[in-house]
Amino acid sequence: MYDLKLFLGIAADVELEKALSKINPHLLSLYMSGGNYLSAVSLKEQRYFGKPAPLSSSVNQLENLETHLLSLLRKLVPEYPLSKPVLVTHIDDHQR
């Protein structure tokens, strides 16, 4: 069964991947553990770091999600110049 998902994230470039690789792995795993923290998705050979968004999100909910996402990323990689997150759709093809 296919399941359409929304994801608000920052496209990972070489510099972001490099900055993330310098972080203590234990700290990074705390931030990447899901829930209210960060996750990663790949779409068409592009990796994004961000947060899942409900399919029926309001503009206000997306703005709050963006604020939270940028706050988390600034704590992890303060030296990285963050761009505005993008909203992407992806298909979760895990069988239920």
Q: Which residues pair with 93 in a beta bridge?
A: none
- Is there a contact between 7 and 86 (Cβ–Cβ < 8 Å)? no
What domains can be seen in the chain, in order of their start residue? 3-92 (3.30.70)
Contact 11, 85 (CB under 8 A): no
| Residue 77 contacts residue 27 (beta carbons within 8 Å) | no
Would you write out the chain's pLDDT as a tens digit for each of its 96 residues?
Answer: 567 788 999 999 999 999 999 999 888 888 887 657 898 888 888 999 999 888 888 999 999 999 999 999 999 999 999 888 898 887 665 544
Could you give the CA distance from residue 20 to residue 12 in angstroms, rounded to a whole number?
10
Give the DSSP letter of residue 29: H
- Choose among 45, 43, 61: nearest CA to 4: 43
**What is the pTM for the complete model shown?**
0.81
